[in-house]
A and B are shown apart, each in its own frame.
Chain A
């Protein structure tokens, strides 16, 4: 029956709503964590960059301007990022991991002087780069989570405010209609019974009227037996 179908639908919608709500809550918690982590990392990053630039300035002071040298020539990236996937409540979050390819960079830098300063600066920028890669992961996750959260919330709200009320409306309509049918049936039955009773009454009346009529005619059905008997005897008489 349709009512059963819609009852099942309502149940499904309700459980879906519950699950989605749980998911939204989980996402929200994670989202908060990420937001906090980003806020903290960005704060650190400001300091890290400052340090890194200072060390670069120191290196430039010690070794002369080597920035042109760094940028010239053929080069192969030594640090790359790999993309992994993290899973939060069914939402896939991209995660960057640092990969050292082992490609050889320019080793001739700072041979004339300031080599150690350059190395220090290199170290600093390496650290900065790793923290930036982490930050990029966080940021990507943050954006993805943001998107996922919006979608989930939209679904939760749609279930809560559109789908479930809709199903409830249908269920309400069905039960009203069923009630109506029942009432109709009841009325019909009553009507049938009433007409039956009337008929019975009428029949009884008819019978009574017949009985009365017979009585009035002087023939009492009960006391007619002896007459009948007599009549039989008379007939018998006729036969013999």
Chain B
């Protein structure tokens, strides 16, 4: 188990210090997920889900969820100090592209992932655009 020497304590230490799992909260950041049902289920299965009394670190986006809600959630995740990576489905990301474009922080990192129904399109990923722009001249 790798433990970083120093890490800013996260803000979600809320209740019951006797519970060891709560103590563990202070030693790493969460991976937040915004995506469709399958994506969220999969990553929760992998064990990155986290639910406290105040909030969760994931959002299931189906057709009933408006982009405004997604936007709000993204803003919340990106300002929370206990989140290190935000995974977001590409088709969801496309809907809130204007917010992602304005997002310039390095941490939390926003990572666009493909979803079950929408195959991955490198053209839409900002980072991939940069990478391709950079490698475009001489891809070897």
A residues apposed to B, CB below 8 Å: 31-32, 35-36, 38-39, 42, 45-46, 49-50, 52-53, 56-57, 66-67, 70-71, 73-84, 94, 96-105, 109, 118, 121-122, 124-126, 128-129, 132-133, 135-136, 139-140, 142-144, 146
Q: Does B42 contact A125, Cβ atoms closer than 8 Å?
A: yes
Q: Does B125 contact A42, Cβ atoms closer than 8 Å?
A: yes
- Complex Cα distance, B48 from A229, in Å, reads 134
- Complex Cα distance, B130 from A105, in Å, reads 38
Task: Considering the complex, give the chain B residue whose CB is closest to the CB of A143.
Answer: B106
With a CB–CB cut-off of 8 A, which chain B residues contact A98? Answer: 2
B76 interfacial contact with A, CB 8 Å:
no
Main secondary structure of the interface of A (DSSP, over half): helix
Q: How close is A135's CB to chain B, nearest CB, in angstroms?
A: 6
Which one of B64-72, B93-101, B113-121 is at the A interface? B113-121
B31 interfacial contact with A, CB 8 Å:
yes
* Interface size bracket, B side: 35 or more
Q: Does A128 contact B1, Cβ atoms closer than 8 Å?
A: no
Q: How close is B45's CB to chain A, nearest CB, in angstroms?
A: 5
B residues apposed to A, CB below 8 Å: 1-4, 7, 21-22, 24-25, 27-31, 37-38, 40-51, 57-58, 60, 84-85, 87, 106-107, 109, 111, 113-116, 119-120, 122, 125, 127-128, 130-132, 134-135
- Complex Cα distance, B44 from A121, in Å, reads 11
With a CB–CB cut-off of 8 A, which chain A residues contact B57? Answer: 77
- Complex Cα distance, B135 from A33, in Å, reads 10
- Complex Cα distance, B128 from A139, in Å, reads 10
